[in-house]
Amino acid sequence: MARTTKAKEARDVRASLALLWGEQDRPTRGPKPSLTPHRIAEAAVALADAEGLEAVSMNKVAGAFDVSAMALYRYVPGKAELVELMIEAVLAERPDLSVAGDGWRPQLTEWARRSWAVYQAHPWLLAATAMRRQAMGPRQLGWLDAALAALEPTGLTAAQRHQVFLLVVGLIRNLAQQLVDFDAEQDQEWNRLTGELLDRHSDRFPALTKAVAAGAFAPTAEDPLVFGLDRILDGVQTLIDREGPRGG
Amino acid sequence: MARTTKAKEARDVRASLALLWGEQDRPTRGPKPSLTPHRIAEAAVALADAEGLEAVSMNKVAGAFDVSAMALYRYVPGKAELVELMIEAVLAERPDLSVAGDGWRPQLTEWARRSWAVYQAHPWLLAATAMRRQAMGPRQLGWLDAALAALEPTGLTAAQRHQVFLLVVGLIRNLAQQLVDFDAEQDQEWNRLTGELLDRHSDRFPALTKAVAAGAFAPTAEDPLVFGLDRILDGVQTLIDREGPRGG
DNA sequence: AGCTCACTGCTGATGACGTAAACAGTTTAG
DNA sequence: CTAAACTGTTTACGTCATCAGCAGTGAGCT
């Protein structure tokens, strides 16, 4: 059974990659296909934008084309691959960071801003990319390349640049998580219930009680990306300053 | 229908909170219960540790007690609440950070290390906490309080301390995500396939090609927590230095 | 022109999931 | 000792991804 699963997965990796990179040869004989993987992915994206990723079932996506769920399997190996196509579909082409100026910091900031914009426009992207992916499409690689390119002038090692990249991606994904979690009504409920609990147990949670009283959990108008990014990039700057003089 | 759902959710919040805080009054009449929410959560944790969160179905958890799935609903309102109990179950009591010394930085580092250890021991915790939670249990609040307490001597505002906390939690969750994603065999496959792709498209991804060649994606023995935490805390230190003199 | 067969899309079935409903058995308060 | 409260069970429903098998279609070859 494990054997079968593994063989199937291996097949899927190939199929998934061919799909993502558009390297599939189309058939000549038989009826004209009424769909394409791309159109299917677009419909799935529209569905996810409107109702969330959990609403994206093969049935509902197929319904957008008035077609049975099984019809989709003629175009896409399975749901996992469909999700990969959705990810590629919402990513723009490789971002041009030169508009932000010359330094690594403005460029990486620009990268983060654009990346964050994508997650804001498509909050399901977080859950979609959290599913274990075995291959990246050309656009994902393009974004990765742009960020690494921006970091080249820092003088950091390749491994350090990769680490910094991961930190920034991580920051954005965390913001996206907060965005997904957030629900004004529910937030109010949380504050109310947690307030009640803290009243009853303020001795157990003194710092939290003080923080709540000081408004640490009140909604803020500030762009949430700024604080985190400034902290991280300040930290990176410190690293550069420390390593530079020693000839790193 | 939406009405029904909302009413049901409201009921669940109450039930969930009572469960998490152990504030449920136990019945006197009727047969002795053979289970407790706590024991059920423990069994679910064992299952998740062994086979992952997706293996935790009501059926399998019930199977651990040789009981039907529906029996669990006498103790737990539903699966979401069971997951909440699982989260509380794997969290230790409020961590004592004083062992790390006096400064905010060693204490927060200690907090991060312990937190990271929990995620390492129970990788499913990431997915479990990603599900929208409406209430926190006493242990979750305890960890939160400990981190906020460690940040009090920084002189930062309450909102800033909260932001820093979110940054550190985010870092750990990102590491946990990488841990979940990682699969040596699959990683090798990724490197092979991406290598092939880069050979074919090295002009499109020059920075990435260089980075791969320089070993930026090679496995490292270093503790992955250190780099990210040092960057973030350096950035926080920069903020403190900047705000302090101005009388913030 | 006609045949073949790769290809499309369909129906139906399978097994997993969470959980609602209804029922049978058990214990304790009155 | 009866009735209420409680436990655990069986059955059933709706949803999901996906497999197997069938009918129709149309390009390429003879």
Return all residues near B223 (Cβ < 8 A) that are at least 6 apart. none
Considering only residues 72-101 of protein chain B, which place a Cβ less than 7 A from any atom of strand C? 73, 78-80
Predicted local distance difference test score (pLDDT) of residue A70: 96
- Burial of residue A93, with CB atoms counted within 10 A of its CB: 0-12 exposed, 13-18 middle, 19 or more buried: exposed
Q: Which range (A10-14, B18-22, B209-213) has the least confidence?
A: A10-14
Q: Rounded mean pLDDT of chain A?
A: 89
Of B148, B171, B235, the CB nearest to A170: B171
Under 8 Å between Cβ of B105 and B235: no
Q: Compute the nearest-CA separation of B184 from chain A (Å).
A: 12
User: Does A225 or A11 have the greater pLDDT score?
Assistant: A225
Under 8 Å between Cβ of A216 and A159: no
Predicted local distance difference test score (pLDDT) of residue B237: 98
Q: In angstroms, what CA-CA distances link A85 with A81, A137, A169, B120? A: 6, 8, 20, 31
Per-domain boundaries in chain B: 2-90, 97-181+218-246
Alpha-carbon dihedral sign for residues B209, B213, B219, B224: negative
- The string of pLDDT tens digits covering residues A56-70 is 999 999 999 999 999
A227: left (phi over 0), alpha (psi -120 to 50) or beta: alpha
- The string of pLDDT tens digits covering residues A13-29 is 777 888 888 877 777 78
Q: Which range (A38-42, A89-93, B196-200) has the least confidence?
A: B196-200
| Stated length of chain B | 248
Under 8 Å between Cβ of A248 and A157: yes
Q: Rounded mean pLDDT of chain B?
A: 90
Under 8 Å between Cβ of A191 and A198: no
Residue at token pair 């990271």: B116
Predicted local distance difference test score (pLDDT) of residue A31: 87
Under 8 Å between Cβ of B57 and B63: no
- The string of pLDDT tens digits covering residues A107-141 is 999 999 999 999 999 999 999 998 666 678 999 99
Q: Does the pLDDT of residue B25 top 80, yes or no?
A: no
- The string of pLDDT tens digits covering residues B27-71 is 778 899 999 999 999 999 999 999 999 999 999 999 999 999 999
* pLDDT average, residue stretch B139-155: 96
- Asked, colleague to colleague, whether A2-90 and A97-181+218-246 share their fold, the answer is no
- Burial of residue A170, with CB atoms counted within 10 A of its CB: 0-12 exposed, 13-18 middle, 19 or more buried: buried
**Residue contact A238–B235, C-beta within 8 A:** yes
Give the integer Cα–Cα distance in Å for A232 and B26: 50
Q: Is the CB of A138 under 7 A from strand C?
A: no
Predicted local distance difference test score (pLDDT) of residue A144: 96
Give the integer Cα–Cα distance in Å for B147 and A207: 9
Rg (CA), chain A: 23
Q: Does the pLDDT of residue A176 top 70, yes or no?
A: yes
- Pick B2-90's CATH classification: 1.20.210.10, 1.10.10.60, 1.10.3080.10, 3.30.360.10: 1.10.10.60
Q: Does the pLDDT of residue B104 top 90, yes or no?
A: yes
Give the integer Cα–Cα distance in Å for B143 and B147: 6
Please report the DSSP string for B146-209 in residue order. HHHHHHGGG---HHHHHHHHHHHHHHHHHHHHHHHH--HHHHHHHHHHHHHHHHHHTTT-HHHH
Rounded percentage of chain B residues whose pLDDT exceeds 70: 92
Q: Is the CB of A57 under 7 A from strand C?
A: no
Of A130, A160, A216, the CB nearest to B158: A216
Predicted local distance difference test score (pLDDT) of residue A10: 57
Q: Structurally, what CATH architecture does the domain formed by A97-181+218-246 represent?
A: Orthogonal Bundle (1.10)
* pLDDT average, residue stretch B65-92: 96
Enter the tokens of residue B170. 């985010």
Residue at token pair 């550069």: A240
Q: How confident is the model at residue B228 (pLDDT cuts 50, 70, 90)?
A: very high
Nearest Cα to A172, choosing from A228, A234, A99, A131?
A228
